[in-house]
Structure 1
Amino acid sequence: MSEKPVPAAPGAPAGAPPAARIDAALLRVAFILVLGTFMATIDATIVSVGIDTLAGEFGASVAQIQWISTAYLLAVVAAVPASGWLAGRFGGRRVWLAAIGVFLLGSVLCALAWSANSLIVFRVVQGLGGGLLPATGQALLARVAGPGRTGRVISVVAVVPLLSPVLGPLAGGSLLAVAPWQWLFLVNLPIGAVAVLLARRYVPVVPPAPGRTAFDLRGAALLSPGLAVLVYGLTEVAHGRTLPAALGITAGVAMLVGFTVHGLRTRGTPLVDPRLFTRPPFGAAALALVVLGASVFGTMFLLPLYFQTGRGLTAWEAGLLLAPQGLGAAAGSVLVNRTIDKVAPRNLVVTGIGLILLGTVPFTQLGSQPGDVTLVAALAVRGAGMAMVGAPVMNIVYSRIEPAQLPRAAGALNMLNTVGGSVGTAALAVILQNRLTARGPDVPQAFADTFWWVLGFCLLAAAGATRLPRTQPGN
């Protein structure tokens, strides 16, 4: 099939930016690329619902079976930093299609697993593909859209990662009710096949970055394993294993420090340039995304656990109670789409964080057993707030950076959001375990204590958001 170049505005000279209108062709590209992100992000939460089923199927202990989730997470964290170089070297569409292929291969292997250990290994394969999809898809979409349309189109697709943790438990519970456990993984195949067929036909080819940049092998050996080892150490803290936790955290921090020193000193192009974080508005945007990831993904770890252990609900019932957060996120994305080119980015982000704070407050009062209506309303407010943060932050960065640097910037932002979510979840698990020990049988109050930390994360994100630009890109 012939390759299609990125289209310019009708009648515009070569190299002109695309028109500001969001046309059907761009929406079609956005829909196709978001299928990959949806498939990768929802997979983690679908599988989490089936952990007990998988433990029984393979006769595995809780300590062993939790690695089905942890291995996927670590593989995602390890893969994200390389996404920028891969897209710059081989082209965004080619890397995105390859990532879909790796993810689908991992899904088939997971469905064929014969033991817990084999499933854990195959989850790593799946995670390597899944880690590349969001960053590569976002960078590719930003290149196709151009600076004038990036904000609005990103506001549409950014809602998918917010919906996935809500839809995942419902989808997983529904699948297990009517099909064997293998369909937790096989469900990816039709989605991925449709995404590949549509992408080959409709997604334009974005040329690789000019010039061939050598792969930062030393940086990759320090950054990706360093992040994975750090997250591993934090998960070991959550499970109360002191020695592996101490070794993992120490080694992870040391490797990340080594990467930073290497990135500042190297004469080549580092895998992720540490200097990027000192350039406004990237530094403030990075802080907002890290802390937002910790708050959002940490909360999505806490809430299903609270509904099931604190209130005795099933996974399906817990998923239904979480659904209003997804509805709020959808409503928030519509609002952002209509205002992102008219309202100062900082105002949108600060308002969004304020809504997340407001929606978190009722969960700090779980000890007094607030009613379901209160919690449902709080989740809807949180969802709307989350939608008002991610898209404007990404638009700020993508609209102010050179097109050739988009893959690396997208990789860095997704890495920070993933790491923030991973570290935040692990940290909140440690805090929750501590509060459960301290509170004894008062489980709701232990969760309430933990949500005060979520409020603290939000306040820190708000502090970073105040440094974002007051004006629109180009003003």
Structure 2
Amino acid sequence: MSGSTRDTAATTDRVDRRLLGIASILVLGTFMATIDATIVSVGIDTLAGEFDASVTEIQWVSTAYLLAVVTAVPASGWLADRFGARRTWLAAVGVFLLGSLLCALAWSATSLIVFRVIQGLGGGLLPPTGQALLARIAGPARTGRVISIVAVVPLLSPVLGPLVGGAILGVAPWPWLFLVNLPIGVAAVLLAHRHVPAIAPSPQRTAFDFRGAALLSPGLAVLVYGLTEAAHGRTLPAAIGVAAGAAMLVGFTVHGLRTRRTPLIDPRLFARPPFGAAALALLVLGASVFGTMFLLPLYFQTGRGLSAWEAGLLLAPQGVGAAAGAVLVNRTIDAVAPRTLVVTGIVLILLGTVPFTQLDHGLADGAIAAALVVRGLGMAMIGAPVMNIVYSRIEPDHLPRASAALNLLNTVGGAVGTAALAVVLQDRLSAHGPDIAGAFADTFWWVVGLCLLAAAGATRLPRTHARKP
């Protein structure tokens, strides 16, 4: 079906069964990519023993995947413009599945890390291309309700990942941490070929921004690497990584503002209301979600002596809250002002985070569960409305690059936020000594600060909905 035919069909306001089916197919890609960022976390000890590697070495199995995702996301907009969003999405699934198979066949820690990079390159393309394709098929009038359904997947993945990983390792050997992706991915490809319509590539064939790619993706990867090294107490490589990464990102911004060609991600997008405020909200949301999912499991295992499975179960209420929030947003996203939903969501995350600043006072499991439900509810009220604000106000031809920018900021927020909080935690652990709970409590005050920063940015979001075509 042609792009023009599809756009005409998408002007209806009704979210029908066919559109929900397309969304369900595309969300499989996002599910695989996002859950794979955390599914390996519970298998670090197992992999270290299997390959006779230190925990520090095997930790790169997770870090390499994250860096590859950060590297791939910026190119997703150009690839979708050049080859079409569906074709790019299908190719990304193929690369992800190839990486998954190679990971399962790895014979050493080094080979596993290399294959995780391949997997991450495919995984990094899946969420932005899938969202851009879905927004284009749905049209502005239906984007909000559809995105509110699929946006819950990235919120559930940090919770489900450790649970799924722990369940797999309980009944199967470690290669199944990666082989589990194969049937899901094959089903997604077959269903997409049959049910997801093709959207024609952009008629404007812009040249790939090689200079921008050489500055942005490596700059982000080097910055995250530097922060990761800082969390491990390695001062010199951390300083070099942070300085070099920041310098490359400044260079990319200057290049993006000066070039006469279409940049990989246009810095001017962030000056266009409401994109700047939306970007800040997603950046801080990523830092808060993934930062908390880094801190809490670590605290449960080191501070309370829980197993990985027990820690995952204690985190499950956040998934329950996110699912409930997704239902609420789906029913109200077209009736309630976007800014109201986002600000309310940030306030709920703030309220759900404050109890964790009191971990050193013996916070009960019931209070932790209640706080996580509130946090999950709040998180679901941010992502979908923010993306709806942007997608419903931007021209269809610009959707792939806008989606790439939003997903990049959410991913970078998660990566940089986690690394930065790890640095804070390391400092607090040194200051508190044996008082582990006190160190984690102090670190959560930084998460509270991130929520306040997001709230300040959210006040600049529009009060009204975009006009429907």
TM-score computed with the length of structure 1 as normaliser: 0.97
Q: Which amino acid aligns with 1:394?
A: M
The 2-side partners of 1:303 and 1:200 are apart by 40
Check if 1:287 corresponds to 2:284. no
For 1:230-245, what aligned pairs fall within 5 Å after superposition?
230-245=223-238
Q: What is the CA-CA distance between 1:62 and the residue it aligns to?
A: 1.6
The 2-side partners of 1:16 and 1:290 are apart by 33
Whether the 8 Å contact between 2:320 and 2:373 is mirrored in structure 1 is yes
For 1:46-445, what aligned pairs fall within 5 Å after superposition?
46-445=39-438
For 1:451-462, what aligned pairs fall within 5 Å after superposition?
451-462=444-455
Whether the 8 Å contact between 1:363 and 1:451 is mirrored in structure 2 is yes
The 1-side partners of 2:288 and 2:206 are apart by 36
Structure 1: tracts of 5 or more residues without a match:
none
Aligned counterpart, 1:32: 25
Q: Deviations over 1:379-419 (max 9, x none)?
A: 00000000000000000000000000000000000000000
The 2-side partners of 1:370 and 1:249 are apart by 36
The 2-side partners of 1:7 and 1:372 are apart by 54
Q: What is the CA-CA distance between 1:5 and the residue it aligns to?
A: 3.2
Check if 1:5 corresponds to 2:7. no
Whether the 8 Å contact between 1:7 and 1:18 is mirrored in structure 2 is no
User: Structure 1 residue runs of 4+, over 4 Å off?
Assistant: 6-9
Aligned residues: 468
Q: What is the CA-CA distance between 1:370 and the residue it aligns to?
A: 1.2
Q: Which amino acid aligns with 2:425?
A: L
Whether the 8 Å contact between 2:10 and 2:137 is mirrored in structure 1 is no
SS of 2:284 mapped into structure 1? helix
The 1-side partners of 2:335 and 2:5 are apart by 23
The 2-side partners of 1:417 and 1:61 are apart by 30
The 1-side partners of 2:357 and 2:320 are apart by 22
Whether the 8 Å contact between 2:319 and 2:373 is mirrored in structure 1 is yes
Structure 2: tracts of 5 or more residues without a match:
none
Q: Which amino acid aligns with 1:98?
A: A
Q: CA separation of 1:8/1:331 partners in 2, compared to 1, >3 Å: closer, same or farther?
A: farther
SS of 1:391 mapped into structure 2? helix
Q: What is the CA-CA distance between 1:18 and the residue it aligns to?
A: 2.3
SS of 2:254 mapped into structure 1? helix
Whether the 8 Å contact between 1:345 and 1:470 is mirrored in structure 2 is yes
Q: What is the CA-CA distance between 1:360 and the residue it aligns to?
A: 0.5
Q: What is the CA-CA distance between 1:7 and the residue it aligns to?
A: 8.2
Whether the 8 Å contact between 1:8 and 1:19 is mirrored in structure 2 is no
The 2-side partners of 1:274 and 1:174 are apart by 43
The 2-side partners of 1:170 and 1:67 are apart by 21
Q: Deviations over 1:346-389 (max 9, x none)?
A: 00000000000000011000001111111100000000000000
Q: Which amino acid aligns with 1:5?
A: S
The 2-side partners of 1:453 and 1:154 are apart by 29
The 1-side partners of 2:85 and 2:2 are apart by 12
Q: Deviations over 1:431-467 (max 9, x none)?
A: 0111111111111111100000000000000000000
The 2-side partners of 1:362 and 1:443 are apart by 16
Q: Which amino acid aligns with 1:278?
A: A
Q: Which amino acid aligns with 1:270?
A: P
CA RMSD of aligned residues (A): 1.1
Whether the 8 Å contact between 1:8 and 1:18 is mirrored in structure 2 is no
The 2-side partners of 1:251 and 1:17 are apart by 45
The 2-side partners of 1:83 and 1:104 are apart by 18
Could you tell which deviates more after superposition, 416-425 or 16-25? 16-25
SS of 1:326 mapped into structure 2? helix
Q: What is the CA-CA distance between 1:474 and the residue it aligns to?
A: 1.3
Q: What is the CA-CA distance between 1:216 and the residue it aligns to?
A: 0.5
Q: Which amino acid aligns with 1:458?
A: C
Whether the 8 Å contact between 1:304 and 1:315 is mirrored in structure 2 is yes
The 2-side partners of 1:356 and 1:438 are apart by 27
Q: Which amino acid aligns with 1:65?
A: I
Whether the 8 Å contact between 1:364 and 1:449 is mirrored in structure 2 is yes
Aligned counterpart, 1:19: 12
Whether the 8 Å contact between 1:37 and 1:133 is mirrored in structure 2 is yes
Whether the 8 Å contact between 2:337 and 2:463 is mirrored in structure 1 is yes
Whether the 8 Å contact between 1:162 and 1:387 is mirrored in structure 2 is yes
Whether the 8 Å contact between 2:88 and 2:129 is mirrored in structure 1 is yes
What percent of counterpart residues are identical? 80
Q: Deviations over 1:241-295 (max 9, x none)?
A: 1111111111101111111111011010000000000000000001111111111
SS of 2:40 mapped into structure 1? helix
The 2-side partners of 1:373 and 1:142 are apart by 39
Q: Which amino acid aligns with 1:77?
A: V
Q: Deviations over 1:139-159 (max 9, x none)?
A: 000000000000000000000
The 1-side partners of 2:3 and 2:26 are apart by 15
Q: What is the CA-CA distance between 1:120 and the residue it aligns to?
A: 0.4
